[in-house]
Structure 1
């Protein structure tokens, strides 16, 4: 039908929690870590829809009203990412890889005592395992099928800087943090020791900010930074609840986080005992009387998953002990 050139567009990508988990395992087991990039990945997908395009410049039609019928995906189509994922995942499954149920972009392959793990984020691929021959074999097969760039040992992935030493793997977003400080004019700001003033309650009261869109962009940028900075997760989460109608108080609190980041822009996480910690305040939000629950999960000495979330239940009972029992 004219004007409709796609049906489905969603394409899964590897979860960042999976990335942190696998890097922790690779560090603990001393596995190899390689990075690949697929050349022109979106051109490999097969189209299921009937899509036509105008003749490109320089092509002369033999008769009027001619158009090109596409057999392969092209950059610019909304479904290209999905079609590429379908092509790659089908190929990996044909090579005896197993797709993880909890993360469809995480693939594993066992060959006797050897294990190979692949994580896919669109056209960026991380390969790890305990046998370099198996890793080289699948790398060569991917190159024969799709043409890839072998980027060698993993060092930079999706804005994450990966530094490996005898002590383990350090994961940070130093360049991302410095770019954020530079864009906000905070590169020369005075550092502070905490991401928020815990004696001040963040609420909906106050004068509105002059540019709410800029505040939302800042919070979105900080949310991505929390992937390696669990120390700012709670503060960023509290501010993210006010992006619809931010006030100048929220703006000041957001810039305090930037002052805190200025102190340690390269701070990250080190990547096997599994430990988890949780905490919850009591009616911490002065506007809704809802509590905020936080948790963090460690694998070894490295945090792999963390979250801060406002509860859906309103805290209206005067007895904290009764509230905890109900929780």
Structure 2
């Protein structure tokens, strides 16, 4: 592809919808490329968000969607040797980041969950997914995201214990929404929080059992932002570095 590389996989602030542009005549091409991008995303968390967005339209892709598929390919052209680096000296202490983009979907107004789990400095789990139900507030959306990552952490902790890998409890759960953190810590549920599904209160349960402890983190240091929204180049590159993505051609030997 002779196009000029770009610095981010998706322009800052972009929101896609099912009504943008004209329907593609050849949908098989779109589906084929997006399928390959989904496969690549298993080792490239930097494209997780945009590929999640594009994969929602494989049933009826439009010209606008195809243009941003090409944008992703231009980004990948500029960093073909980027990959996750796992340092030998890392420990196995889990660290968790959770984020949500409230009402992110332009078609359904469902929110977007994003999280990542580290063992020491090594990224071992990450996800971007649309929430099942519509959230009535940003705090509710963030709280649902916290529930998802706590469930993932429970599974990882079981594996670590089976492998006799020791780590300290509680595990830090980083969130940038103070209202969601307040709901987690408040022992009394008020009327305005009763609509939150019961399964979300797994966060409260694991807090009581000592698995996690909620920690507030500023938005500028919320690594999970890279899984929930399109960012400007400096912030995107900062979070990309924090995920452990490095250019393998530039690693000192």
**TM-score, normalization by structure 1:** 0.41
Alignment-derived partner of residue 253 in structure 1: 68
Alignment-derived partner of residue 297 in structure 1: 117
CA distance in 2, matches of 1:320, 1:261: 32
CA distance in 1, matches of 2:51, 2:34: 7
Q: Are 1:216 and 2:216 counterparts?
A: no
Residue by residue over 1:25-48, the C-alpha shift from the partner in whole angstroms, topping out at 9 and shown as x without a partner, is: xxxxxxxxxxxxxxxxxxxxxxxx
Q: Are 1:204 and 2:18 counterparts?
A: yes
- 2:74 is paired with a residue whose SS is helix
CA distance in 1, matches of 2:45, 2:71: 16
Structure 2 runs not aligned, ≥5 long: 144-192, 201-253
1:234: Cα distance to partner?
0.8
More helix, by proportion: 2
Structure 1 runs not aligned, ≥5 long: 1-185
CA distance in 2, matches of 1:208, 1:198: 24
Residue by residue over 1:128-156, the C-alpha shift from the partner in whole angstroms, topping out at 9 and shown as x without a partner, is: xxxxxxxxxxxxxxxxxxxxxxxxxxxxx
Q: 1:269 pairs with 84, 98, 102, which one?
A: 84
1:300: Cα distance to partner?
2.7
Alignment-derived partner of residue 103 in structure 1: none
- 2:73 is paired with a residue whose SS is helix
CA distance in 2, matches of 1:189, 1:300: 38
CA distance in 1, matches of 2:32, 2:24: 13
- 2:131 is paired with a residue whose SS is strand
CA distance in 1, matches of 2:18, 2:68: 13
The structure with more radius of gyration:
1
Q: 2:9 pairs with 181, 195, 206, which one?
A: 195
CA distance in 2, matches of 1:310, 1:284: 9
Alignment-derived partner of residue 52 in structure 2: 237
CA distance in 1, matches of 2:10, 2:16: 10
CA distance in 2, matches of 1:320, 1:224: 31
More strand, by proportion: 1
> Relative to structure 1, is the Cα distance of residues 270 and 286 closer, same or farther in structure 2, using a 3 angstrom cutoff?
same
**TM-score, normalization by structure 2:** 0.52
CA contact (8 A) 1:270 1:301 kept: no
1:276: Cα distance to partner?
1.9
Residue by residue over 1:179-230, the C-alpha shift from the partner in whole angstroms, topping out at 9 and shown as x without a partner, is: xxxxxxx2x3211111112322100012111211110010000011111110
